[in-house]
């Protein structure tokens, strides 16, 4: 059985007197052989197309962002010397592994069955964080971080869906800085103010939470406001 050691409460791992410098993972570069084929595949996943830049015939860069992600992927022509298909073990955190898998299947993406780990690190299965023996089905206890499904892009770059329901200590909405969170709170306040005059009696916190999570997941303000409404009226009806 593997052992897990976590650093609690964002404890510093270097000189505590040093000034903390933020380093946010922004982009992962994916090596592909056919840029247009890759673009079609990642659009099919439902990811947001951010940019498609060219510089003559010698360079092209395409950026996609998964829904709710603070990190994007870039691929193209002359953006990396890595061999196409050599990017493996790219993890996508999802709140519901079965629902996400079913959504990808509806989009025509070939996805493995859901599996969980065995902490056996020898075997014939494709290696990942929890070993080389993939046990069929979700983790029996549905423990956070412990259920997976995998898929590959047309070049063979390997992605894993990882079900994450409760984060380890020190993890969370870490991609928010003060300015971004302030702006989101003001936006949330505005839309809640539009809902409140006709709303049933409720505490604002539930509406705020549903709205902000929806916005972090990439939904438009109008859709996020609907999520807030559903949260309040669903809770009252329960």
Give the contacts of 192 (CB within 8 A, at least 6 positions apart): 204, 207, 208, 211, 228
Element (H, E) at 150: strand 147-152
Eight-state DSSP code of residue 5: -
- The rounded distance, in Å, linking the Cα atoms of 210 and 32 is 37
Q: Which of 126, 156, 127 shows the shortest CA–CA distance to 31?
A: 156
What is the predicted pLDDT for the residue at 150?
96
- Residue 74 pairs in a beta bridge with 29, 63
Kindly tell me the burial class for residue 81, based on how many C-beta atoms sit within 10 Å of its own C-beta (0-12, 13-18, 19 or more).
exposed
* Rounded mean pLDDT for each run of 10 residues along the chain, 238 residues in total: 46 55 89 98 96 95 92 97 97 94 97 90 82 91 92 98 76 64 90 93 92 80 91 83
What is the predicted pLDDT for the residue at 173?
55
Task: Copy the structure tokens of residue 132.
Answer: 């080389």
What is the predicted pLDDT for the residue at 83?
98
What is the predicted pLDDT for the residue at 77?
97
- The rounded distance, in Å, linking the Cα atoms of 151 and 71 is 19
What is the predicted pLDDT for the residue at 45?
97
């Amino acid at each position: 059985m593997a052992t897990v050691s976590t650093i609690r409460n964002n404890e510093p791992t270097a000189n505590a007197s040093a000034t903390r410098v933020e380093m946010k993972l922004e982009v992962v570069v994916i090596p592909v052989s056919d840029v247009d084929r890759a673009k079609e595949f990642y659009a099919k996943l439902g990811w947001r197309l951010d940019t498609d830049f060219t510089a003559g015939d010698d360079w092209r860069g395409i950026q996609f962002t998964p829904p709710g992600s603070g990190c994007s992927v870039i691929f193209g022509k002359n953006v990396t010397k890595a061999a196409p298909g050599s990017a493996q073990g790219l993890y996508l955190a999802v709140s519901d592994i079965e629902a996400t898998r079913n959504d990808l299947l509806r989009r025509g993406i070939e996805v493995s069955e859901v599996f969980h780990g065995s902490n056996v690190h020898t075997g014939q299965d494709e290696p990942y964080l929890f070993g080389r023996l993939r046990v069929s089905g979700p983790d029996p206890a549905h423990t956070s971080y412990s259920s997976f499904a995998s898929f590959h892009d047309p070049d063979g770059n390997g992605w894993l869906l990882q079900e994450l329901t409760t984060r380890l200590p020190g993890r969370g909405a870490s991609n928010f800085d003060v300015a971004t969170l302030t702006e989101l709170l003001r936006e949330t306040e505005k839309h809640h103010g539009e809902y409140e005059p006709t709303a049933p009696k409720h505490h604002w916190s539930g509406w705020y939470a549903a709205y902000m999570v929806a916005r972090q997941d990439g939904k438009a303000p109008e859709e996020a406001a609907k999520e807030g409404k559903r949260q309040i009226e669903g809770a009252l009806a329960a």
